[in-house]
Amino acid sequence: MKKGMTIMTGGVVLITVLLAALYLYSASRLARLTQQNTGTHIYDRRYAFVSMDQSELWQAIYDSAKEQAELENVYLEWIGQDLVMNYTLEDCMKIAVASKADGILLNPDKSGEAEEMIASAAEAGIPVITLLDDKGENSRISYIGVNSYQMGELYGKQVLQCLKEEDNHIVVLTDQMTDNNNTNLLYSQMLQTIENGNNRNHTYDITLYQINTATSFDAEEDIRDLFIQADPVPDIMICLDLVSTECAAQALIDYNEVGKVTVIGSYASDTVYEALEKGILYSTISVDTGEIGQLCVTSMNEYHNLGNVSNYFNMRLEVINQKNVAKKRETEEPEEQPGLQAGRLIFGQAG
């Protein structure tokens, strides 16, 4: 009788445990599903990140900004990045305005519509901060980027280090769509620096070579044309964006010009780092993308909180070459997030 009662009690307990387990399992699964379908965290604001350039550079800036936004309880959305449709900058700006974002972090493209869009956003009461390229000075609340004067000076210094005894043919690859004012300022400062620093009276000539970055694949074709058609092949080549830098590095290998042509790239991707390590590229000039990302979110919040913000944030420039590239990669890699590659804006100088 006692054994029987023990077994029966055990059975009832087992049933109760199974019922509880069944209920808890079911409830937990449904709760998990509900949690998956409803965001638990509510943000104070929503900022729109607008950039047609989705290269590693801008991905890194966005990631940094996103990280900072999380810290400051802001939802950051890269308009158009994860959508199936391809939008223009104008579309993205219109969407940002129509969806009533609390602020827009804008990488203006080379088109002239950026200024108009910035003005429209300002008219709708949405503050805009421009990044790395200053557009719509009257409408935007702030600009975070580099100083063209400083950049030109750094280019000049890099060129001076690379000048040979004989005649030096220097080619600057410029974008057809680039803002002429900034390019002119950069160019003139670079010339000034070379002239002032050319103590050994090397002879050189500098040519502006325009490449088309408005459409896909054109930049690569233009650079290859330079190697095929130019006579003579330039001694120093300065690339002003990542695409032209990577194309130039690849072209040097393809046309067996490594060591003959000194290339200064413009972006710091893994390809660029590798090229620097192997001596294919001479040097690069970069800014801290993490700092840009953090600063843009902080500045926008400051504007919302205080009603105003500094009109201009100048970012520190940094030269990376074969000597310090390994150290640079070491310091960067731990900070990198899985699946993301660090991008650096590099302004180069051929030697």
Partner 1 sequence: MNRIRRFFRNNSIQTKFAVVMAMMLIIILVVNLFIYIQTNVMVERIDSVFSSNVTIGELTETLGRVEDTVYEYLNTKGSGALENYYRFSQDYRNLIEELNSQNVEDRVLMLEKSIREMSESYLATADETVQAKRGRNVEKYKNSYAQEAELFRYINNYIYELNSRQFERNSENYRFLLSSLGILEIMALTLIVVVFLLSGFIGMVLVRKMVHPLVELSETAREVAEGNFSVKVPQVDSEDEIGIVTKTFDQMLSSIRAYIVRIRSSLETEARMKERELSMEAHLKEAQLKFLQAQINPHFLFNSLNAGSQLATLEDADATALFLQRMADFFRYNVQKTGGESSLQQEIGLVDNYIYILNVRFAGDITYRKEVPDDVGDPDMPGMILQPLVENAVTHGIRDRMDRGIIRLQVEKEEDGLQIIVSDNGVGMTREQIRRIYEGTADRSGEDGSTGIGLGNVINRLSLYYNREDLLTIHSEGEGTEVILFLPKMEKG
Residues that bind partner 1 (CB under 8 A): 1, 4-5, 7-8, 11-12, 14-15, 18-19, 21-23, 25-26, 29-30, 33, 36-46, 75, 77, 82-85, 91, 94-95, 97-100
348 close to 284: Cβ distance less than 8 angstroms: yes
- For partner 1, which is the closer residue by CB, 38 or 201? 38
Beta-strand pair 168-175/142-145: unpaired
Would you say 46 or 202 has its CB closer to partner 1? 46
**Residues 162, 166, 171, 172, CA torsion sign:** positive
CB of 74: closest distance to partner 1 in angstroms? 8
Looking at the Cβ atoms of 8 and 208, the one nearer to partner 1 is 8
CB of 71 to partner 1, least distance (A): 14
Measured in degrees and rounded to the nearest 5, phi and psi for residue 298 equal -60, -40
CA distance 169 to 162: 11
How far is the CA of 190 from the CAs of 174, 193, 196, 201, in angstroms? 14, 5, 10, 16
DSSP per residue, 254-276: HTT-BTTBEEE-SB--HHHHHHH
What count of other Cβ atoms lies within 10 Å of the Cβ of residue 210?
Answer: 13
Instruction: Find all residues with CB under 8 Å of 16, minimum gap 6, and list them.
Output: none
The whole-angstrom separation of Cα 101 and Cα 122 is: 12
- Nearer of residues 76 and 243 to partner 1, judged by Cβ: 76
Shortest Å, Cβ 123 to partner 1: 13
Nearer to partner 1 by Cβ, of 11 and 279: the residue is: 11
Shortest CB 315 distance to partner 1, Å: 29
Amino acid found at 337 = Q
Task: Give the distance between the most distant pair of CA atoms in the chain.
Answer: 113
Q: How far is the CB of 222 from partner 1 (least distance, A)?
A: 33
Residues with Cβ < 8 Å from 218, sequence gap 6 or more?
211, 212
Could you tell me which of 281, 249, 228, 287 has the C-alpha nearest to residue 58? 287
Q: Mention every residue, 6+ apart, whose C-beta is less than 8 A from residue 150.
A: 314, 317
- Judged by beta carbon, residue 31 or residue 326, the one nearer partner 1 is 31
Minimum CB–partner distance for residue 91 and partner 1 (Å):
7
Least distance to partner 1 from the beta carbon of 66, Å? 12
Shortest gap between Cβ of 87 and partner 1 (angstroms)? 8
Residue 267, token pair as written in the block? 């972006």
User: Nearer to partner 1 by C-beta: 37 or 256?
Assistant: 37
Alpha-carbon radius of gyration of the chain: 27
Q: Whose Cβ is closer to partner 1: residue 120's or residue 324's?
A: 120
